[in-house]
C-alpha cells in the first residue's frame, strides 16, 4: 500500500495487488475488497482508523480491454537498449517506416508509468509527422 498526500492536499491510499491475490480480488465484489482492506487498516492503526473510506475506486486490470492484466516487466539482465528496440518502427519493403510503437514499455526514461506512455505517444506522433509531412521531430524534446 502507498500513502499519498499530493492529490488535492487530501490523503490517498493506493493498494497494488499482484499474483494469485490479484486473481482472487479480480472476481471479488467491491464491498468485500473494501471490508478486507479496512479490517487490515484497523488492525494496523487501531481506533484512529476511519470506519469507512470517503471514496473507493477499484480497477479490474485483467478485465480491462486495453491491458487484459498485462504490464511490462524488465528482467535483471535487461539493458535500457531493450526499450529502444521495442520503440523502433518497422519498415516496409521500400525502407520506409510503416508500423510505429508507443507505450510505457518503449520509454527508457519512464518505463512502467503513465507519463512514459504519454511521452512515447508524442514521440511516435512526431515520427509519423516526419513520414507523412516531412517534418523532423526532435526526439530529445519528448524524452
Q: Where are the alpha helices (DSSP H) in 1-143?
A: 19-27, 30-45, 81-87, 114-133, 139-142
Cell 503513465 belongs to residue: 114
| Helices and strands of the chain, counted as H and E runs | 5, 4
Give the per-residue pLDDT at 139. 57
State the pTM of this model.
0.56
Q: What is the mean pLDDT of residues 40-54?
A: 91
Domain regions of the chain by residue span: 2-63, 81-142
The tens digit of pLDDT for each residue in 86-124 reads 999 999 998 889 999 999 999 999 888 888 999 999 999
Per-residue model confidence (pLDDT) at position 99: 96
- Residue pLDDT, tens place only, 62-85: 888 877 776 677 788 888 899 999
Q: How remote is the C-alpha of 53 from its chain's centroid?
A: 24
In sequence order, the β-bridge partners of residue 90 are: 99
Contact 2, 13 (CB under 8 A): yes
Amino acid at each position: 500500500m502507498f500513502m499519498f498526500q499530493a492529490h488535492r492536499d487530501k490523503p490517498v491510499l493506493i493498494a497494488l495487488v499482484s499474483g494469485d491475490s490479484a486473481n482472487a480480488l479480480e472476481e471479488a465484489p467491491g464491498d468485500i475488497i473494501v471490508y478486507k482492506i479496512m479490517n487490515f487498516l484497523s488492525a494496523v492503526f487501531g481506533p484512529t482508523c476511519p470506519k469507512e473510506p470517503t471514496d473507493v475506486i477499484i480497477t479490474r486490470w485483467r478485465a480491462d480491454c486495453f491491458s487484459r492484466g498485462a504490464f511490462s516487466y524488465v528482467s535483471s539482465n535487461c539493458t535500457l537498449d531493450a526499450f529502444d528496440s521495442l520503440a523502433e518502427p518497422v519498415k516496409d519493403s521500400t525502407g520506409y517506416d510503416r508500423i510505429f510503437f508507443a507505450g510505457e514499455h518503449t520509454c527508457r526514461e519512464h518505463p512502467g508509468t503513465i507519463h512514459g506512455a504519454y511521452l512515447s505517444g508524442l514521440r511516435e506522433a512526431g515520427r509519423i509527422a516526419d513520414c507523412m509531412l516531412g517534418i523532423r521531430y526532435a526526439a530529445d524534446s519528448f524524452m
